[in-house]
Amino acid sequence: MVLGASEGTGAAIVRSVARDPGLDIFGAHRGNHPEAAALLERDVARAGRRVVLRGGDAGTAEGARLGVEALLDVAGPGSVRLFVHSLASASMGRLAAGSGPRVAPRQVEKTFDVMAHSFLYWTQALVEKGLLAPSARLLGLTNSLDDSLVGGLGLIAAAKGALEAYVRTLALELGPLGHRVNLLKFPTVITPAVRKVYGEAALDRIVATHLKMIPAGRMCTVEEVARFVTVLAGDAGEWFNGATIDYSGGLTLGLADLLLDPGRS
């Protein structure tokens, strides 16, 4: 089961796990990209797997309840081997003082609901309805730059901090039941959503800055992130639990180096 499945990282993960380890797919998305969703359905079908994509708001407690009920109807108890939370809808801006717009209470609530609380709501609903398969893997996603507080990311960093706290606590609670709960931290990847938020001009600057920070000298791709998720879904990922897994390619090391030597090119 993948939340935020129609485009970007979520869609790449769907395609990857449909091939390896070969999972049927239940995906939730907002319904804003029907063409992308239709293409995803075709790709999963070509991999020989069943796919059900459900439109709607997955970022609320009610959305989680309704989504899990729909999943129960199509898949039945004990059917979720992998749950990936790839929802992203957040506000940027200053928290209290400084230049630029200040985030409003409704933006705070929406950001925390989508980026953090919904992971908890879906997990609660999955457990309540008995939908988790033996040794199920539950995975949240976060970005390496969320800790940096650059570019008005304070609210997003706060929400991702809450998500990390949920992951650790749920790992303790669900571990004795055989399940594993983790958080995957990866660098910025270029997705349609990123292009829409920043625009092409700003995106060029973002890419140029990342190329200075990442030791490999290139951007990570959604396909690389998705392939690593297949590792976490398999037997090799059994001993990860309650972990924030750094898949940044050394980006944070490069960030520190750039701050020490801002003239480095």
Burial label, 36 (beta-carbon count in 10 A; 0-12, 13-18, 19+): middle
Cα 17 from Cα 122, distance rounded (Å): 20
- Confidence (pLDDT) at 151: 66
User: Is 65 in contact with 57 (CB distance < 8 Å)?
Assistant: no
Quote the pLDDT of residue 40: 96
Instruction: Locate the domains of the chain by residue range.
Output: 2-191+221-250
Question: Do you find a cis peptide bond into 21, omega within 30 degrees of 0?
Answer: yes
Q: Tell me the C-alpha to C-alpha distance, in Å, between residue 246 and each of 112, 157, 183, 250, 253.
A: 22, 16, 9, 9, 11
Q: What is the CATH number of domain 2-191+221-250?
A: 3.40.50.720
pLDDT value at position 183?
Answer: 98
Predicted local distance difference test score (pLDDT) of residue 144: 80
> What pLDDT score was predicted for residue 194?
76
User: What is the mean pLDDT of each successive set of 10 residues along the chain, which is 265 residues long?
Assistant: 93 96 94 88 96 94 97 96 92 82 93 96 98 98 75 85 97 98 93 75 82 89 96 94 94 66 56
